[in-house]
Each structure stands twice: as C-alpha cells, then as structure tokens.
Chains A and B, each alone.
Chain A
C-alpha cells in the first residue's frame, strides 16, 4: 500500500490544516478576521512605557538552552525572536535601554541584526552590542545565576521572557519580583506554565507564543493563519466531544480507531 498504515488520518488532518492556512493567507487582502488581542501582547507598550518613565532598562530573554535546530525548542525560540523584533523597535523608539540575556548560541546573529535594524530605522547610531546582548551560558543554572545577578545590578523596570524555560523558571520570575519588575513570561513548556501563571504579571501560555509572533508581525497573511489555528482547534474539540460521547454512551471507540488509521 502506498500510504503507511497508522498515519493516514494524520496526513488527512495535516492536509486540511495546510489547506485552511494557505487559503486564509491568500484571502488576507479581502478579508481578515477580528483577532482577539492577547493580553500579554497588548501590555508590551505599557511595559516599555514603565521603563521609560522610571528611567530603567528593559530585560529580555528567549530563555536558555537548546537551539533553533531542535524540534521541541526551536519554534519557541523563533516565537521569542519575533516578539523581540517588536520589542527592540519599540525600546529604541522610546529611548529605553535594552538588555538581552542570550542563552542560545545560534541566536546571537539574529538578535544583533534585529537590534541593528531597530537603531537604523530610527536613524540612530548602532551602539556597542556587548552592552545590549549578553551571552551567559548554555548551562541551566549558570545562566539563571548570571541573569539573577544582572537583574540585581541593572534593576530593570520590566522583564520579558518568551521562549523555552526549564527548572530555572521560578528563580527567574522571583528575581524579577525582587527587583520590582513588571513581568511578561511566555513559554510552551507546559510543566513550568503554572509558575508563571501564579508569579508573573502577564503570561502567554503554550500556543499563544506562536500566535504572538504572528500578531506582532503586522502582516495580514501571517495574522490570518491564526484563524486557521482556531479552525483546527474547533475540529479537535469536535472530534473529542464526539469520541467522548460515543464511548461513554455506547462503549464504541470508533474515533480512537479512526484517528489511529
């Protein structure tokens, strides 16, 4: 058989999602859905404004460890970079000092480019990158020790963390709390989302960080793919409800068998 057994339903669902995404992107000029503004995204100007008022820097990081090439964390780092592009431009525009803690080796070049573009767009001379982009370590606790120390020395008014974060998450957030920073944390690492939900001021949970990058890009085509994401979620919810109802009422596991085809 040409199609591999056990992967047929996955292929069909993937094709449906791809079709919806591309169709939404193609009709972007004619029609755009009303996208709910994520609270974590709409607060970014406020975070930067706070820094400008208090005359303190803004701290940003895409988390620690991993690389853009890794399946699990690469997309999260990319989401963080999309948000950083927006944050950097806004910081430069408002004259806010930006400090970036870098925990991945392969993002340095991209971050430098975003910073350079931000300053060039405002017609300002590009400053010393060493002062802005500070690579600490790929080691988990070495990174968080460096970030904690940095936050106590620089006393940022706002802290933005978008990307993969591991066990150092609680320490990271509490360092921000201790220096009185307003915090926006976003990650798709489900095991650490509870820390941020409780301790930080704003949180982006799971797939919201992927949506954040699309929303902040301002590109209609990219934003329309968020609608495709929601349609896919509705399909999943529908399958879940049908499966649960059928199994509960009749003991029939046909949805599970269908998905396992």
Chain B
C-alpha cells in the first residue's frame, strides 16, 4: 500500500467504517428483501405452549422496555396477541418499568387495527405502572387489588369484566414478560415460577443469561429478538413487523462478520 493511501485509510478509517455501516443499514430499507427463514426451537416451543393453553386463556403481559427497544418486541407481542385472540383469550397488560406504560400506549396505535375490534375492559386492559422492581412484582402477583384499585385509564378494576376472577398469579394461564437487559428476568422466574408455578415466557434481548432456567422454570426463553418474533409470525402465518426487519438484520450481521474478518486481515498485512 502506498504511503498516501496508508495515510488516507488511517486518517479516515472511522469515517469509512461508519459510512459503510450506514449504507449497509439503509440499503435494505430502500430495497427491502426477505431472506429465507428456518423456524428455530425456541419459537416452535413457544408456539406449542400457546397452542396447548386452554380455550379463553388469561394472559399477563408485562411491558418492561424503553422506546429504543420497541422495534425488537413489537412483532412478537402483536403476533402473540393475535394468536391468543384466535383462542378467545384475554390479555392483561402491566408495566414494571416507567417507560413500559408509554410503550403500551404506543402499541395502542400500532396494534390499534386489532384492538379497535376488541373491547377494552373485556378483551384487554392495561393496569399501569407498578413501581418497586421485584418487590412490586411480588406484591402485584400475590394480590393485584392490594397494589392498585384502578387501571391506567382510571376505571375501577372491580368494574372491569376481564378482572372479575383475576387477583393472583395462579389465575393466569401464562405470564409473558418483555424486557431488555434482564432487569426483572430473574425476578419473574423467582416470583412466577418458583412461588406460583405458573407457565412463564420471557422475551429478552439478554436472554442468554436466562438460559440456566430454561426449560424447567422458564418454559419459553425468547431470544434473539426480533428473529424469534419473525419465526413466530411465520408459524402463525401472519407476517408483521419482525419479519420486515429480517433484511436489515441479515445485512447488519453480514457487515459485522466481514468487519471482523477484514480487521484481522488488515492486521496481518500491516504486520507484514
């Protein structure tokens, strides 16, 4: 390599890397494509768990992620709720992080095309943000009415048909937690599985750290996101937001793999 080109790459290397990264992520947005998809074991297991739920199941779904992570969970959550509604299920939503409440409201817009056909208070409800981390979770699961009296919209929960026979964790057929970074993952395993033995699924970007609990205490460990969301959408035959991200994921992963390879090749040449 000539002296001039050496100087050029050293000086502008960061810009080259970031520039290539931008091109890699913009291309699939401008020219969308869908790579072939193999359904993995985790999505299959979760699908089977939902299929084996009784008719009209009651689900507790927790929103524990921030706006940054919304695209990771949107596909999986919406596909899951469509699957549950196909069984005439009821979804009780709650948030154990402050941002979670806003994420539910975001989902009211993006999932509005389904929820508008359902009745709030009968088919779904949002109970709001429960502070306190795992202690708040323990309190909530032991008795919902000891923690809150109204839902997020101010309706008394005793007036809501969906909450008629629901007060403790054992009243739910499945608990699903959507979170980033295992904030409450271990807490959910301790409080839901160990204490109440309720079926538990966790969708988490840091799912690898929950692997020790899988599959005994954590019946479904849903990661990596949003790939497992795309697989689940394929299983229920309703492609959505997660499937739309596969092209970006594909090229993004390819970019980093090539970056690592070329980084090492460049080092060999530099040493040479």
Chain A–chain B contact at Cβ < 8 A: yes
Residues of A within 8 A of B (CB): 66-67, 69-73, 140-141, 166-167, 189-191
Which residues of A lie under 8 Å from residue B206 when comparing CB positions?
Answer: 191
A-facing mask of B202-222, CB < 8 A → 1, else 0? 000010110000000000000
Question: In the complex, A71 Cα to B139 Cα: how many Å?
Answer: 13
Known pairs A70-B132, A73-B133, A140-B66; A190 contacts B183 (CB<8 A): no
| Complex Cα gap A216–B230 (Å) | 50
* Contact partner, B133, options A71, A140, A141, A166, Cβ 8 Å: A71
**Contact at A66–B209, with CB atoms within 8 Å?**
no
Find chain A residues with CB under 8 A from B184 CB: 72
Q: Decide if A66 touches B133 in the complex (CB within 8 Å).
A: yes
Question: Which residues of the other chain, B, contact A73 by a CB distance below 8 angstroms?
Answer: 133
Query: Please, what's the 1-or-0 string for B125-143, where 1 marks a CB less than 8 Å from any CB in chain A?
Result: 0000000111100000000
Interface range for B: 10 to 19
Other than the given A70-B134, A72-B184, A189-B182, 9 more pairs (CB < 8 A) read A67-B133, A69-B132, A69-B135, A70-B132, A70-B133, A71-B133, A71-B135, A167-B180, A190-B209
Q: B203 CB to closest chain A CB, in angstroms?
A: 15
Distance (whole angstroms) from the CB of A41 to the closest CB of chain B: 25
**Nearest CB in chain A to that of B209: its residue:** A191
Tell me the bound Cα distance from A143 to B229 in angstroms.
30
Please tell me if B181 contacts chain A, counting CB pairs below 8 Å. Answer: yes
Tell me if B181 and A70 are in contact (CB < 8 A).
no
Q: Which residues of B contact A (CB under 8 A)?
A: 66, 68, 132-135, 180-184, 186-187, 206, 208-209
- CA A167 – CA B180 in complex, angstroms? 9
In the complex, which of the residues B66, B134, B180, B209 contacts A72, with contact meaning CB atoms closer than 8 Å? B134
Query: A190 vs B213: C-alpha distance in the bound complex, in angstroms?
Result: 14
Q: B180 — nearest CB in chain A belongs to which residue?
A: A167
Residues of B within 8 A of A166 (CB): 181, 183
Say yes or no: B181 contacts A72, CB within 8 Å. no
Chain A nearest CB from B13 CB (Å) reads: 16
Contact call A71/B183, Cβ cutoff below 8 A: no
Cβ–Cβ < 8 Å partners of A191 in chain B: 181-182, 206, 208-209
Q: Which residues of B contact A141 (CB under 8 A)?
A: 68
C-alpha gap A123/B183 in the complex (Å): 42
> Which residues of B lie under 8 Å from residue A72 when comparing CB positions?
133-134, 183-184, 186-187
The answer for the CA separation of A48 and B133 in the assembled complex, in Å, is 35
Q: List 9 A-B contacts (CB under 8 A).
A: A66-B133, A69-B133, A71-B134, A71-B187, A72-B187, A140-B66, A166-B181, A190-B209, A191-B208
**With A190-B209, A191-B208 given, is the CB distance from A70 to B135 under 8 Å?**
yes
**Bound form: Cα–Cα A69–B209 in Å:** 23
Closest chain B CB from A237 CB (angstroms): 16
Residues in A whose Cβ lies below 8 Å from that of B186: 72
Minimum CB–CB distance for A38 against chain B, Å: 23
Cα distance, A69 to B132, chains bound together (Å) = 7
CA distance A90 to B186 in the complex (A): 36
Measured CA separation A140–B99 after assembly (Å) = 12
* Distance of A206 from chain B, by nearest CB (Å): 12
Which A residue's beta carbon lies closest to that of B194?
A: A6
Instruction: Give Cα A71 to B96, complex, Å.
Output: 13
> Which chain B residues border A69 with CB–CB below 8 Å?
132-133, 135
